Amino acid sequence: MTLYLLKRLAVLVASTAVAAVVVFAFMGLLPGDPAEIALGVNATPEAVAELRRQFGTDRAPVVQFLDWFGGLLHGDFGTSYVTSSPIGPQISDRLAVTTVLVVGGMIVALLVAVPLGTFAAVHHRNPLGALISAASQIGIAVPAFLAGILLVFVFAVQAQALPSGGYVPIAENPAEWLRGLLLPWLSLGLVQGAVLTRYVRSAVLDVMREDYLRTARAKGRGSTGALWRHGLRNASIPVVTVLGLQLATLLIGAVVVERVFVIPGLGDLLLNGVAGRDLLLVQGVVMVLVAAVLLINFVVDVAYHLLDPRLR
């Protein structure tokens, strides 16, 4: 296990480094010179050259990359060419908000999917189980932003029960923080929950046909007891795969949901960066998102090993 963990950790570090090269190279390919953008069309070539020197963009790309990457290693994302403020602190503030959003959405998805999916599997031969299947199908077809708009319409506009947007830091007012996040969590989580419900259902159905469940019943367990004791952990193995993929999707979904609910998260920062042509900021945010996805994959792989002794 320890050896596996070390190997997997090495893969994580290496793939993050490769990702950094790709992100950096990709941003370099984009047209537009930061110095020219900052000074506008009427700037003299001398002024542009001077600013390039200040930004450090006159150096060889390899040197620029090493400078940037070296900074990343101790949390320095550089200084914005547009706002002249350090990027690192902005990203870390926004990352905290997005993490809360995504994790909350995932919890909502699990709270929906595990009970519903299991129920639908156990009752797959009667109408209620089929109804859950059909409902989850509809849920899959709804994009998260539409769910968000619908939720806002029902709970914020009609019922006036929850705020339609905005974000209050938890340190300021925990109750408002929670109220503000409920709708975003739901709009992210319900849609993902619908997808996950189908995976949970099929995983539980597969497990219900397994011989070891019959063995458990032959030992004297009822069918529900057998499923609880022997089925769910086995069913969780394929579900964890999907969960990992979904976390990555949620991260992307969060970009949109943050727009809908005016939440100052990474997605919001990314879109601002793009709109303001703040290349270094965009580069930093993209790097963080890529690293997050790699980290999620790492966690999924380790989770497999904890769940399944056959892999150890």
All residues at 6 or more sequence positions from 259 whose CB lies less than 8 Å from its CB, including other chains: 145, 267, 268, 271
Strand partners, 79: 86
Residues 290-309 that bind other proteins (CB under 8 A): 307-309
The number of residues in the chain equals 312
155 vs 304, which CB is nearer to other proteins?
Answer: 304
Nearest distance in Å: CB 211, other proteins: 4
- Return the residue of 57, 223, 241, 272 that touches other proteins, per CB under 8 A: 223
d(Cα 110, Cα 193) in Å, to the nearest integer?
6
Nearest distance in Å: CB 218, other proteins: 5
Q: Is 79 helix (H, G, I), strand (E, B) or coil?
A: strand
All residues at 6 or more sequence positions from 293 whose CB lies less than 8 Å from its CB, including other chains: 248, 251
Q: Does 221 bind other proteins (CB under 8 A)?
A: yes
- Return the residue of 215, 252, 274, 295 that touches other proteins, per CB under 8 A: 215
Alpha helices in the chain (DSSP H): 2-29, 34-39, 45-55, 61-73, 87-122, 127-141, 144-151, 174-208, 211-218, 223-226, 232-261, 266-275, 279-307
40 vs 220, which CB is nearer to other proteins?
Answer: 220
Q: Does 4 bind other proteins (CB under 8 A)?
A: no
Alpha helices in 123-171 (DSSP H): 127-141, 144-151
- Return the residue of 218, 252, 274, 295 that touches other proteins, per CB under 8 A: 218
- Return the residue of 108, 120, 121, 216 that touches other proteins, per CB under 8 A: 216
Strand partners, 86: 79
Residues 230-269 that bind other proteins (CB under 8 A): 230, 233-234
Question: Which span sits near other proteins by CB under 8 A: 1-9, 136-144, 208-216, 281-289?
Answer: 208-216
- Return the residue of 214, 252, 274, 295 that touches other proteins, per CB under 8 A: 214
All residues at 6 or more sequence positions from 288 whose CB lies less than 8 Å from its CB, including other chains: 91, 95, 266
Nearest distance in Å: CB 242, other proteins: 19
Nearest distance in Å: CB 241, other proteins: 16
Q: Does 222 bind other proteins (CB under 8 A)?
A: yes
Binding site for other proteins (CB under 8 A): 125, 210-212, 214-223, 229-230, 233-234, 307-310
